[in-house]
A = this chain, B = another copy of it.
Amino acid sequence: MLNLGLSKLAERTIDPPISWLMKLALERPKLISLAAGFTDNASLPVGASAELLRDILAEPKIARASLQYGSTAGDMELRNLTLRRLEHLDGVPRKTYSAENLLITHGSQQFLYLVTECLCDTGDIVLVEDPTYFVYLSILQSHGIEARGVKFDLDGLNLDVLESVLEKLKSEGNLARVKMLYLVSYFQNPSGVTTSSEKKQAMLEILRRFEKDAGHPIYLLEDAAYRELQFSGASVPSALITAEARKRVIYAGTYSKPFATGVRVGYGYLPDSLVQPVTRVKGNHDFGTSHLLQQLVRAALTSGKYEAHLPALRERYKHKAEIMATAIRTHFPQSVGWEAAAGGLYIWARLPGSVQTGPKSALFRACLKSDVLYVPGELCYAPDRTRRAPQNEMRLSFGSASEEKIREGIKRIGKEVSKLAPKGAN
């Protein structure tokens, strides 16, 4: 029987690029992967987790609570701790944010999924950065949601282009389909760019101006997954900081990346009007996030072990980012554009226009032959035919590879790029 009876969602859902790259890596054990978004194995909080879990399970009342169901929205104390942390990072007074608006999820990825389900029907439109986080593009594609790419500069989204994209959608009569702008605001995956607080507020103003014609709010979905992986200095405030903004901003955060990715605990902050719908759908997904994982994160926060873990983690990523930067300076031709990382896990490289980086390109194949893998930049662009996406970029991750492999991997990629880059440009 050829017709499997699949839903339209299942038929639309393609194999994510990430799984294809991971499969390549698994098939070639010698391969140096600068593609994976995995975090650094050596800095995982093994000792801290062991102590915290021992303490949790030694106290009968807490032990039983952690092995029992919790509530759909999540443990109230963890929600309060998360809010206090968020307020601190945002530099706003305590109790500015409300625990009622916070939902604990199985990683922030689940929160992104829930929000998208609750706001978008098939045929709706989500604005995304050019480039953006490719797994989010998979969620959109799976739901038959159209992604419109908005031009991105070295300081983030180009506001003039955002406005002109919205004007164009308005003139086409498509504004009612526009539900939100998806923004990866800190050390963006893949570009490494952090969006300033002013720019985020300016985006909100622009979105707001088009709401009347849209007939409904146009939300800003701020994905702050890499926020805590800042190498030094204070955090840029999130878009949540004003009461007006909190009516439109949906904020996704996570404990997985800064603590341990095997502990899938993320969270989201929602405008009042979306709390109930998103929580209800979360209930249908799984009744709530594993209580044991929630208790572990809660204990990490209250014990101070979470805070104590961060400086070492940041120092480690900073060190690996510097190793990658030094290797790029040494081995990449000068015609390659790139910025040093100030946080996160990635460096984004813009090759000369003639050097294609895609999965079928000469460069990608040559790199694979040399046992080194990067993420082709074009995978990070929405399939939006209204603009041409660059074909000459790559995402390089210093997250999981060892220092030696970062050096060797960049050397190998640099060698292949140098062969293909136009000589005059070097």
Q: Given A57-B49, A277-B13, A293-B292 in contact, is the A69-B262 Cβ separation under 8 Å?
A: yes
Mask of A58-93 contacts with B, CB within 8 angstroms, 1/0: 101001111111111000000000000000000000
A281 to B18, CA, bound (A): 13
Q: Which residue of B lies closest to A292 (CB)?
A: B262
Contact partner of A64 (CB less than 8 A), chosen from B41, B113, B117, B214, is: B41
Flag if B68 contacts A119 (CB, 8 Å). no
A253 → chain B closest CB, angstroms: 15
A362 to B18, CA, bound (A): 57
Flag if B5 contacts A66 (CB, 8 Å). no
Flag if B261 contacts A68 (CB, 8 Å). yes
Contact partner of A280 (CB less than 8 A), chosen from B13, B70, B215, B264, is: B13
Question: Does A329 count as interface, using CB distance less than 8 angstroms?
Answer: no
Q: Given A13-B281, A216-B3, A262-B291 in contact, is the A64-B39 Cβ separation under 8 Å?
A: no
Q: Given A66-B262, A68-B260 in contact, is the A179-B5 Cβ separation under 8 Å?
A: yes
Mask of A210-230 contacts with B, CB within 8 angstroms, 1/0: 010011111100000000000
Question: Does A15 count as interface, using CB distance less than 8 angstroms?
Answer: yes
Most buried by B among A10, A19, A117, A262: A262
A67 → chain B closest CB, angstroms: 4
Flag if A49 contacts B67 (CB, 8 Å). yes
Q: Which residue of B lies closest to A276 (CB)?
A: B15
A124 to B107, CA, bound (A): 31
Flag if B264 contacts A290 (CB, 8 Å). yes
A289 to B290, CA, bound (A): 10
A16 to B277, CA, bound (A): 11
Flag if B109 contacts A287 (CB, 8 Å). yes
Copies of chain A in the complex: 2
Question: Does A46 count as interface, using CB distance less than 8 angstroms?
Answer: yes
Flag if A286 contacts B109 (CB, 8 Å). yes
Flag if B50 contacts A284 (CB, 8 Å). no
Question: Does A327 count as interface, using CB distance less than 8 angstroms?
Answer: no
A46 → chain B closest CB, angstroms: 4
Flag if A19 contacts B217 (CB, 8 Å). no
Q: Given A260-B292, A284-B13 in contact, is the A45-B69 Cβ separation under 8 Å?
A: no
Mask of A262-284 contacts with B, CB within 8 angstroms, 1/0: 11100000000110111011011
Contact partner of A217 (CB less than 8 A), chosen from B4, B64, B214, is: B4
Question: Does A28 count as interface, using CB distance less than 8 angstroms?
Answer: no
Q: Given A49-B57, A54-B54, A57-B50 in contact, is the A118-B9 Cβ separation under 8 Å?
A: yes
Contacts of A139 in B (CB 8 A): 284
Most buried by B among A60, A273, A280: A280
Q: Which residue of B lies closest to A260 (CB)?
A: B67
Q: Given A5-B216, A9-B117, A290-B290 in contact, is the A44-B68 Cβ separation under 8 Å?
A: yes
A71 to B22, CA, bound (A): 9
Q: Given A118-B10, A290-B106 in contact, is the A5-B72 Cβ separation under 8 Å?
A: no
A6 to B72, CA, bound (A): 20
Flag if A110 contacts B64 (CB, 8 Å). no
Contacts of A31 in B (CB 8 A): none
A4 to B275, CA, bound (A): 12
Chain A residues 91 to 145 lying within 8 A of chain B, measured CB to CB, are 106-107, 109-110, 113, 117-121, 124, 135, 138-139, 142
Question: Does A14 count as interface, using CB distance less than 8 angstroms?
Answer: yes
Contacts of A273 in B (CB 8 A): 4
16 contacts between A and B (CB under 8 A): A6-B118, A7-B117, A8-B121, A9-B121, A10-B119, A15-B276, A16-B284, A19-B283, A41-B68, A53-B54, A65-B262, A68-B261, A107-B287, A109-B287, A135-B283, A135-B287
- Residues of A participating in the B interface, judged by any CB pair closer than 8 Å: 1, 3-11, 13-16, 18-19, 22, 38-39, 41, 44-46, 49-50, 53-54, 57-58, 60, 63-72, 106-107, 109-110, 113, 117-121, 124, 135, 138-139, 142, 179, 211, 214-219, 260-264, 273-274, 276-278, 280-281, 283-287, 289-293, 295-296
